[in-house]
Chains A and B, each alone.
Chain A
Amino acid sequence: MSEGVESQGGGRKPSLIKGPREFWGGVALVVLAVFALIACYDLPGMRGFAFGPGTAPRMFAVLLGAFGVIIAAVGVMQEGPGVDPAVVRGAGLALILVLLFAAIDKFAEPLFTSIGYRNGESVAASFVVLVVTVAFARGIARGPLYVTAGVLIFAGTIRTLGLIPASFISTVVAAFATHEVRVVETLIWAAVLTAFCAFLFPYALNLPFNFWPQF
């Protein structure tokens, strides 16, 4: 869709990698395969003729790596579309967002427990996610970032703040994923949706939810 732009390093080197999109796609699969191999490094393998827990994952990881190499090789040799830098930026930032959320949620827990706010860390993580999103969302990266942020904020706040605040906040944040967003309309629409969900899920479908913050 766009011209062949190298996603890493400076300058264009069209003679070296002819199809950057395929090439980087293959490389990513290889990285994933290696990651999986490391993750199941300590699992026992074959015992006699019986499969161990590690046999199948290792088998699939090796095959995935092999296919990744093939795809990358095709990318080197065959003329193909380039990598869209906006996509790399959007997906990369969104991935960082998820990792950031997970890290804060995991490692800040003792801190918040010690000052007496249980589950405070997930709200803090949501807040950080929101700040990072507002700071970095530009152009095409706007979509992936705000959508991811909306989902993460819902995950971070549903337990502590309850259904109504969580739905409202995450809907408003997600609505900013498009540049067509209108603030007043969004606030009203989010309130309507929240009211509808607060009726639909707990009453109509009989699912247990807290409506408001639990302190």
Chain B
Amino acid sequence: MFDLFHNLALGFGVVFQFADIKINFLGFSGTIPLPMNIFFCFMGALIGTLIGVLPGVGPVATIAMLLPITFGLPPVGGLIMLAGIYYGAQYGGSTTSILVNLPGEASSVVTTLDGHQMARQGRAGPALAIAAIGSFFAGCVSTVLVAALGLPLTGLALKFGPAEYFSLMVLGLVFAVVLAKGSIVKAIAMILFGLLASMVGSDIETGQSRMAFNIPELSDGISFVVVAMGVFGFAEIIRNLEGGDEETRSIVASKVTGLMPTIPDLKASAGAILRGTVLGSILGILPGGGAVIAAFAAYTFEKKVSKDPSRFGKGAIEGVAAPESANNAAAQTSFIPLLTLGIPPNAVMALMVGAMTIHGIQPGPQVMTKQPDLFWGMISSMWIGNLMLVVINLPMVGLWVRLLRVPYRMMFPAILIFCNIGNYSINNAPFDVAMTALFGVVGYWLIKHDFEPAPMLLGFVLGPLMEENLRRAMLIARGDPSTFVTRPISAGLLAVSLLLLVLAVLPMIRSKREVVFTESET
């Protein structure tokens, strides 16, 4: 318990650190101590919300777009800014769900059900406010949880050998498969596609060039930003463009009136926020799309315990509060597998790994012991990020609504040009930009053939790690594949994966699963 406070104190110490900034302005020159990390966090949350609130730009695309601007910062500042961007993007996604019925990502799909209905009844203000308040509460609770659970889980992580890591990644991928919409076979195929794409470039052990066709730019492999920006960002823009109608994108933009929820509203949603937070915190730790299942589970649970379930889907405030708290709590606790085991549980976390690697940090159990200031600083910055969200968003809802009025014909060229310049600036490589165009086409085709791009991205990120651990495990076991089932932790993880797959394939469970999803898409 004492350790927990000590660590949190260290973290906040890092976040509130004052940096001496050289100022040379209007004849005044000298150094002024400024809390730069807080500033980075604020900027991150602001820009993240600004971009995330654009319709059709989800958190993954937002983070992919904004990654380059963190590169110039020192590692701690960069990651803190990234955490701010992350929460901003997440909240921006909820804003579009409520205002224009356009979820930015899978985990805010549920928010559209009651949130958009509230907006249609002119109660967009309370819906947006309760989403922010619920997210903030969930963020506070789960920050403490992350700080408390991080250390014990790191101990567990140190017991992990290559075989266990491999099995854990299999489990993560199975989660991604089970939670993907639609066909399980297709989701597995997408993971394999991602794994295969990640093999392009130099072999980790021998350095031999693989599938690079003597193109020098490919010898380092395909950059993660290229895949994410192409498959999510550009493909989404192309798809939105054929949707055509200008009206469907801006129906309720004019009607945001009263901002604050009333006392009865708060009373009604208090329980929902609490239950959503608990569910979200638990489910978020599981690898693979924790935030999505958390939001769904919280909504379904809330409907179950409600005295009058028929109100749901017609603008019940609990239907906004519960999933919003749940997905934020889950988003937060999904940092646990990332920071302690180095395994990204979902596509957004996968992006974070990419960013950390660029800052020269290898996420994993060593981060906590070798760079404690970074680790605890990042955890405290999550809380600060949540606080910033409330600070920024409660007074600025009106502004976001006005941003949604910008016609799409002006919005998408702006998104494209920011993406292009950002993408080019990473390596000063025109080749990367052209590759992104290719992945945009691929992503568009995938969406149109009902293939989910998210499992592909997860496979792409886990690919090199998976191959490395598979090879190592096989080498240690002298080529005996039974090593994966004779080591207890590994066997347990594989058994859980198998169980999940079987459950997902069973037709009864599957039809139930589809009911949950179709319900949410109407």
A residues with CB within 8 A of B? 21-22, 24-25, 28-29, 32-33, 36, 39-40, 43-44, 48-57, 60-61, 63-64, 67-68, 70-71, 74, 84, 87, 90-91, 94-95, 98, 101-102, 105, 122, 140, 142-144, 147-148, 150-152, 154-156, 158-159, 163, 167, 170-172, 174-175, 177-178, 180-182, 185-186, 189-190, 193-194, 197, 201, 205-209
For window 199-229 of chain B, which residues contact chain A by CB distance below 8 Å?
A: 199, 203, 205-206, 208, 210-211, 213
Query: Can you list 18 residue pairs at the A/B interface with Cβ under 8 Å?
Result: A25-B450, A28-B445, A33-B196, A39-B213, A49-B479, A51-B475, A53-B205, A56-B467, A57-B196, A60-B199, A70-B185, A98-B437, A151-B440, A154-B420, A158-B433, A170-B416, A170-B417, A193-B413
With both beta carbons as reference points, the residue of chain B lying nearest to A175 in the complex is identified as B413
Q: Please determine whether A167 and B421 come into contact, CB atoms closer than 8 angstroms.
A: yes
Q: Please determine whether A181 and B434 come into contact, CB atoms closer than 8 angstroms.
A: no
Give the size category of B's interface with A.
35 or more
Task: Tell which of A74, A84, A177 touches B241, judged by Cβ atoms closer than 8 Å.
Answer: A177
Q: How far is the CA of A44 from the CA of B238 in the complex (A)?
A: 40
Q: Please determine whether B199 and A56 come into contact, CB atoms closer than 8 angstroms.
A: yes
Q: Please determine whether B417 and A197 come into contact, CB atoms closer than 8 angstroms.
A: yes
Q: Shortest beta-carbon distance, A96 to chain B, in Å?
A: 10
Chain A residues in 8 Å Cβ range of B414: 171, 189, 193
Q: How far is the CA of A84 from the CA of B238 in the complex (A)?
A: 15
Q: Please determine whether A98 and B418 come into contact, CB atoms closer than 8 angstroms.
A: no
Task: Tell which of B205, B430, B441 touches A156, judged by Cβ atoms closer than 8 Å.
Answer: B430
Q: How far is the CA of A158 from the CA of B478 in the complex (A)?
A: 51
Chain A residues in 8 Å Cβ range of B428: 208
Chain B residues in 8 Å Cβ range of A140: 242
Q: Please determine whether A40 and B448 come into contact, CB atoms closer than 8 angstroms.
A: no
For window 161-208 of chain B, which residues contact chain A by CB distance below 8 Å?
A: 183, 185-186, 188-189, 192-193, 195-196, 199, 203, 205-206, 208
Task: Tell which of B72, B205, B238, B448 touches A206, judged by Cβ atoms closer than 8 Å.
Answer: B72
Which stretch from B54-62, B392-400, B404-412 is at the chain A interface?
A: B404-412
Q: Please determine whether A167 and B211 come into contact, CB atoms closer than 8 angstroms.
A: no
* Chain B binding surface SS class: helix
Q: Please determine whether B409 and A178 come into contact, CB atoms closer than 8 angstroms.
A: yes
Task: Tell which of B192, B205, B211 touches A63, judged by Cβ atoms closer than 8 Å.
Answer: B192
Q: How far is the CA of A56 from the CA of B160 in the complex (A)?
A: 22
Q: Please determine whether A91 and B413 come into contact, CB atoms closer than 8 angstroms.
A: no
Chain B residues in 8 Å Cβ range of A167: 417, 420-421
Q: How far is the CA of A166 from the CA of B188 in the complex (A)?
A: 40
Counting from the closest, the 5 A-B pairs by CB-CB distance are A49-B479, A155-B433, A143-B241, A53-B203, A67-B189
Task: Tell which of A74, A102, A194 touches B434, judged by Cβ atoms closer than 8 Å.
Answer: A102
Task: Tell which of A43, A57, A151, A177 touches B433, judged by Cβ atoms closer than 8 Å.
Answer: A151
Q: Shortest beta-carbon distance, B83 to chain A, in Å?
A: 19
Q: Please determine whether B192 and A151 come into contact, CB atoms closer than 8 angstroms.
A: no
Q: Please determine whether A90 and B444 come into contact, CB atoms closer than 8 angstroms.
A: yes
With both beta carbons as reference points, the residue of chain A lying nearest to B430 in the complex is identified as A155
With both beta carbons as reference points, the residue of chain B lying nearest to A94 in the complex is identified as B441
Q: Please determine whether A155 and B470 come into contact, CB atoms closer than 8 angstroms.
A: no
Chain B residues in 8 Å Cβ range of A94: 440-441, 444
Among A105, A170, A182, the one with the most B-chain Cβ atoms within 10 Å of its Cβ is A170
Chain A residues in 8 Å Cβ range of B69: 205
With both beta carbons as reference points, the residue of chain A lying nearest to B206 in the complex is identified as A53
Q: Please determine whether B479 and A48 come into contact, CB atoms closer than 8 angstroms.
A: yes
Q: Any chain A CB within 8 A of the CB of B424? A: yes
Q: How far is the CA of A181 from the CA of B192 in the complex (A)?
A: 39
Q: Any chain A CB within 8 A of the CB of B153? A: no
Q: Any chain A CB within 8 A of the CB of B449? A: yes
